[in-house]
């Protein structure tokens, strides 16, 4: 098989989380924690204000993998793992990045298993999230009905 992707390739994104989007996403995800909705309560906590729901940035990071791996081939996510290390404050600008660490042929699935490692860094370059992912990369015609 001729892999569409190579070890070392990366994708990254910088994003700033605003109050409205944090509240909207948390609501859509069913996360009604006051840490994402109640500014007065959040000010009294160790975070000093509203924080972004982990479901918000983990969903964005999963979307990054899907977008990245479908640029050259068809792709399907198989596994994701997230370690939340530090809260992300509303208003903070963060950088999310993924890097391909392995490409393994899988004849049974008619494609390659792409293993990625990712992270989310705060404005101060602190690690907020560490992540791992495995996805299937295959020729686009593999998805068409026959």
Q: Are 106 and 33 in contact (CB under 8 A)?
A: no
Task: Indicate whether 21 belongs to any domain.
Answer: no
User: Is position 91 within any domain?
Assistant: yes
pLDDT at residue 15, rounded to an integer: 97
Q: Is 109 helix (H, G, I), strand (E, B) or coil?
A: helix
**Residues across the chain:** 146
> Is pLDDT of 2 > 70?
no
Number of domains in the chain: 1
Predicted confidence at residue 4, as pLDDT, reads 85
Query: Does residue 80 fall inside a structural domain?
Result: yes
The domain that holds 135 is classified in CATH as 3.10.129.10
Where in the sequence is the domain holding 85, given as residue range(s)?
A: 10-16+53-139
**Mean pLDDT, residues 11-30:** 97
Please indicate, yes or no, if residue 70 is contained in any of the structural domains.
yes
Q: 62 and 84 in contact (C-beta within 8 Å)? A: no
pLDDT for the residue 145: 58
Report field, pTM of the whole predicted structure over 0.85: yes
Task: With beta carbons less than 8 A apart as the criterion, state whether 127 and 121 touch.
Answer: yes
The closest of 94, 103, 45 to 72, measured between CA atoms, is 103
Mean pLDDT across the stretch 105-133? Answer: 96
Query: Residue 23: inside a domain, yes or no?
Result: no
H-helix or E-strand spanning residue 25: helix 19-28
The answer as to whether 60 is a domain residue is yes
pLDDT in tens, 67-110: 999 999 999 999 999 999 999 999 999 999 999 999 999 999 88
Q: Tell whether 36 is covered by a domain.
A: no
Examine residue 30 and state whether it is found in any structural domain, yes or no. Answer: no
């Amino acid at each position: 098989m001729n892999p569409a992707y190579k070890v070392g390739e990366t994708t990254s994104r910088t994003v700033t989380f605003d109050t409205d989007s944090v509240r909207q996403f948390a609501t859509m995800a069913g996360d009604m924690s006051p840490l994402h909705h109640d500014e007065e309560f959040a000010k009294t906590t160790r975070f000093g204000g509203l924080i972004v729901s982990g479901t918000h940035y983990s969903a964005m990071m999963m979307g990054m993998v899907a977008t990245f791996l479908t640029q050259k081939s068809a792709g399907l996510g198989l596994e994701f793992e997230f370690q939340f290390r530090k809260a992300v404050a509303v208003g903070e600008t963060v950088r999310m990045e993924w890097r391909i660490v392995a490409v393994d042929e899988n004849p049974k699935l008619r494609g390659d298993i792409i293993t990625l490692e990712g992270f989310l860094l705060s404005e101060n370059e602190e690690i907020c999230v560490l992540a791992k992912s495995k996805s299937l990369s295959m020729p686009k015609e593999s998805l068409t009905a026959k």
